[in-house]
A and B are shown apart, each in its own frame.
Chain A
Amino acid sequence: MGRLLRLPLYLAALTMLVPFYWMAAAAFKPVPELTRNPPSFVPGDPTLDAFYEPSYDPGVRADQTVAGLFQRYPDVPGGFLRFMGNSLFVAATITVLSLLIAALAAYALTKMDLPGRRAIFVVVVASMMIPWQVTLVPNYLIVRNLEWLNSYQGYIVPALAKAFVVFFLVQYMRSIPDDLVHAARVDGAGEFRIWWRVVMPLMRPALAAMAILVVLAEWNNFLWPLIIVQDDTMANVPVALSRLNASNAFNPNNMAVIMAASLLTSLPTVIFFLAFQKHFTRGIALSGIKG
């Protein structure tokens, strides 16, 4: 009976998994199989051509031969790997720095005798209600005036202040007994030392939960990079995928390449989630915040 009741959940999970499977399968299909009607569910003759097509020659026309993923973007050193590197660097940096900043803010708001801390917290929470699109233009103008277009600081700095992370960490930090902090103060530890040595180790589940959300958001970020990046070498993976999609509009044979790129793009996030999912669920549960 229990299994029967879970059946809808299995079906729902299946609907999530099928697109992933379809993407992965399509990335390894040769072009004729890819455009076959009706389509095959399992690649009959798996190939890596979508990643690297040995017979591709840009100067020779061949109907069903298109450049593999790693043969594209010849004007960008490193090609697609460069975009992945950009995404990885930006997402990792923003995640680390924004969590540190948010954890410092949460510590000040919960464990320190900060004047007006309730008002500050209200302002932080209220700022969550402002759609991020509203801040797009001011942020863009600031970044442009600082001459940070086409730069990593243009990607990273505007993304460092994250109100939701502060809010979440405040909720979690409130569950840490104040006595621990007081005891550390009695022992002569400074505030920064208490934050780093006493509080932060206890914050791991919450930090892991937030890390997953921030990494995913930054890995998938499209609009901000689209606006501030004017040179391909600084593009991230979503912007590169968008360009690939433009090729497919004219030639359906590019579909395997798009699927290969999508597969490589999805893998890091899946791996990251699988590695941290225990912390993620624990962090959500302990913070008392429900979706």
Chain B
Amino acid sequence: MHRRSLAAVAAAMLLAAGCTTTGTSTAPQEDAEGPAELLFWNTGSDEQAAAVQVAADRYKELHPNVTIRVQAIAWDDGHAKVLTAATSRSGPDIISGGLSWGIEFGELGGMVDLNGFDLGQAKQQTRPELWNSITSPGGAVYGIPMDMTLYVFYYRPDLLQKAGVSAPPATWAELFTAVDRLKASGVATPLVEEWGTFEWLPWFNYLKQAGGSLYSEDCTQVTINSEQAVLATTTWADQYRRYGVPKATVDVGAGLAKGEYAMAIGASYLAGGFDSGQPELRGKWQTAALPTGPAGAGSFVGGKIVGAMSYTKHPRAAAEFVKWLYTDEAVEILQREVFTRGGELYISPRPELLAKANASDNLKQTLQTTLNSVTGPPNCKGWETSGSEVSRRLQAVVNDNADPRTALAEAAAVMQGNLG
């Protein structure tokens, strides 16, 4: 069995075992200024953890009695590890991880509701779509956004021009026209997809661009069996059926460098690795916002939350550090260090600071445009657990020519069941 699957099985079993316990009860230390030694599990690469450690060291200069040690945990295993920590009530004081982890682990009793620590400024500084995503239906905020990942349209201007396409496609129609022209000009695979390839994440973009949604505003109804969703699904499926988008994960940078691919719909984190990983690609790639659909622009936004674990002996000190990560100084450190150490693009949840990110003007402009039309993951119960089943129904439209309406009706039933 694949390691990730094993970890997921273990996590599910721990959850099923209901092994949340009260653990050893020690009265929490309420002083934000310490003395406190905090362990921070940062989900991501070692380089990201090293960057966050620089921020933590700066925090210690400002708060000498609070020491924070940052430790990296890999994305593949992070969920299982944090779930284990949350259920066994032993482990780190602070964690970062997927946007939905806060609600998931918070509802299990594993994380502190940060509403008790004056989140007013952080809320004001965050895109509302993102804030809604991390707020539980009951109003609790177990983790606040730490960074953002956006969908970006990457392309090779020279290949587009050679194919007679003068500008990056702005609409669905232009996108598929460009695919046809690039194919005719000899580009083997004109369009590829990355970040949730052939799963439901890229389909979210089409859904939003078609005017659809996953749930009703109040999370009481699943709404993916709409006419807008049918249009989105048909268009999404046509990418693979008619326009040759690979269903398997591809190396976007290598493909763009070789000229095998001319356009890619992928995550913003890809941008950091293009120039270093593929030196011959330097100066040859550009970005744009995703093409729009009949309802306009739309893009899924992901990222990480950061929050304090409920069993920490220092909830206030942990919460204050979490909030400090929103300050200008902390964001500046993270922008610089994440880029310096890992070559990665750090996108703060504070969009007004995007201008200071280590990225080209073109990319910053793209991200700024994209931010105006983002949709975060829903905060409705069971959406994430529905992922594999819904993806399977969507894939059936491509693989088995299933009727989109039937597929969506089945997917809606799955999601409604998980909604409870």
Q: How far is the CB of A266 from chain B (nearest CB, A)?
A: 17
Question: With A137-B13, A242-B3, A247-B342 in contact, is A144–B88 under 8 Å at CB?
Answer: yes
User: Any chain A CB within 8 A of the CB of B76?
Assistant: yes
Partner of B46, one of A61, A64, A247, A252: A247
Q: What residues on A are CB-neighbors of B186 within 8 Å?
A: none
**Binary B-proximity of A231-250 (CB < 8 A = 1, otherwise 0):** 11000000100111111011
- Cβ–Cβ < 8 Å partners of A74 in chain B: 50
Over the window 239-268 of chain B, the binary record of Cβ atoms lying under 8 Å from chain A Cβ atoms (1 yes, 0 no) is 000000000000101100110000000000
A72: chain B residues within 8 A (beta carbon): 46
B73 to chain A, nearest CB (A): 7
B277 near A251 with CB under 8 A, answer yes
Interface hits, A49-102 → B, CB 8 Å: 58-61, 63-64, 72-75
Is A230 in contact with chain B by the CB < 8 A criterion?
yes
Asked if A251 contacts B10 (CB within 8 A), the reply is: no
Given A137-B17, A222-B6, A247-B277 contact (CB < 8 Å): no
Point out the residues of chain A lying under 8 angstroms from B98, CB to CB.
none
Bound CA span A227–B91, Å: 11
Q: Is A136 an interface residue (CB 8 A)?
A: yes
Interface bracket on A:
35 or more
Among B77-85, B105-113, B321-329, B383-391, the stretch that binds chain A is B77-85
Whether B45 lies near A246 (C-beta < 8 A) is yes
A133 within 8 A of B: yes
A38 CB to closest chain B CB (Å) equals 9
Q: Please tell me the size bucket of the interface on B.
A: 35 or more
- Whether A252 contacts B253 in the complex (CB less than 8 A), given A63-B343, A222-B3, A227-B80, comes out as yes
- B90→A149 contact, CB < 8 A: yes
Contact present for A243 and B272 (CB under 8 Å): no
> Which residues 42-82 of B sit at the A interface, judged by CB distance below 8 A?
44-48, 50, 53, 69, 71-77, 80-81
The CA of A225 and the CA of B56, in the complex, are separated in Å by 27
**A227 to B10, Cβ gap below 8 A?**
yes
In the docked arrangement, what's the CA distance between A72 and B279, Å?
24
A223 on interface, CB distance cutoff 8 Å: yes
Query: Which of B13, B81, B272 is close to A226, meaning CB atoms less than 8 Å apart?
Result: B81
Q: With contacts A223-B10, A232-B71 known, is A251 near B91, CB below 8 A?
A: no
Given contacts A144-B90, A246-B74, A250-B342, contact A63 B80 (CB under 8 A): no
B23 nearest in chain A by CB position: A144
Of all chain B residues, which has the CB nearest A226? B77
Distance (Å) between the CB of B196 and the closest chain A CB? 14
- Please report the C-alpha to C-alpha distance between residue A230 and residue B50 in the assembled complex, in whole angstroms: 18
Do B340 and A223 touch across chains, with their CB atoms under 8 A apart? Answer: no
Cα A19 to Cα B84 with chains together (Å): 34
**A110: interface (CB < 8 Å):** no
Complex Cα gap A37–B343 (Å) = 21
Q: Are the C-beta atoms of A245 and B10 separated by less than 8 Å?
A: no
A77 to chain B, nearest CB (A): 13
What residues of chain A lie closer than 8 Å to B9, measured between beta carbons?
133
Answer whether residue B403 sits at the interface, using C-beta atoms and an 8 A cutoff. Answer: no
Whole-angstrom distance between the alpha carbons of A247 and B342 in the complex?
Answer: 8
**A-contacting residues, B273-299, CB 8 Å:** 273, 275-279
A residues less than 8 Å from B14 (CB atoms): 137, 140
Q: Is the CB of A61 within 8 A of B340?
A: yes
- CB contacts (< 8 Å) of B7 on chain A: these are 223, 226
A75 contacts across to B, CB distance below 8 A? 53, 69, 71
Contact indicator A249/B343 (Cβ below 8 Å):
no
The reply to whether the CB of A122 lies closer than 8 angstroms to some CB of chain B is: no
CB neighbours (8 Å) of B277 from chain A are: 35, 251-253
Residues in chain A near residue B341, CB distance under 8 A = 58
Whether, in the assembled complex, B19 has its beta carbon less than 8 Å from a beta carbon of chain A, the answer is yes
Residues from chain B with a CB closer than 8 A to the CB of A137 are 13-14, 17, 19
Q: In chain A, what residue has the closest Cβ to B46?
A: A247
A40 to B93, CA, bound (A): 46
Given contacts A227-B84, A250-B48, A253-B343, 10 further A-B pairs with CB under 8 A are A37-B257, A75-B53, A75-B71, A133-B13, A223-B7, A227-B81, A230-B81, A243-B72, A251-B277, A252-B273
12 A-B pairs within 8 Å (CB atoms) are namely A35-B277, A58-B340, A63-B276, A133-B9, A222-B3, A226-B77, A249-B45, A250-B344, A251-B276, A251-B277, A252-B251, A252-B276
Q: Which residues of B contact A (CB under 8 A)?
A: 3, 6-7, 9-10, 13-14, 17, 19, 39, 44-48, 50, 53, 69, 71-77, 80-81, 84-85, 88, 90-92, 251, 253-254, 257-258, 269, 272-273, 275-279, 339-344
In the A-B complex, list the 5 residue pairs whose CB atoms are closest, starting with the nearest.
A246-B74, A63-B276, A252-B277, A247-B45, A61-B340
